[in-house]
Structure 1
Amino acid sequence: MYFFRLRVINTILFLVVGVFIGFILKGRVNPPPVASAAPRYQPAYEAVPVKPEAEAVEAEEEELPPEPEKAAGPRRAAAPAPAREEEDAELSIEADTPAPPGARRQPVFLSVEPAAFFKGAAGYAGRDLEMTLQLITVKKAAGGWRLNFVYTFPDKTIDYLYLDDTSTLGTSPDLRIGYVYNVRFRCERGDLSDGNTLSFIEPTGDKANWATGLSAIE
Structure 2
Amino acid sequence: MTQRGRAGSRPGSRPGARRRDEAADRAPAPPRIDLAAAKARVRAVIEPVVDAAGYDLEEVGLSRAGRRYVVRVLVDADGGINLDGVAVVSREISAALDAAEESGGEVLPGEYQLEVGSPGVDRPLTLPRHWRRNITRLVAVNGLTGRVTGVDESGIVLDVDGTPRALRFDELGPGRVQIEFKRLDDADFGDEEDEDDDADDDEGEGEE
Provide TM-score, normalisation by structure 2.
Answer: 0.19
Provide TM-score, normalisation by structure 1.
Answer: 0.18
Larger Rg: 1
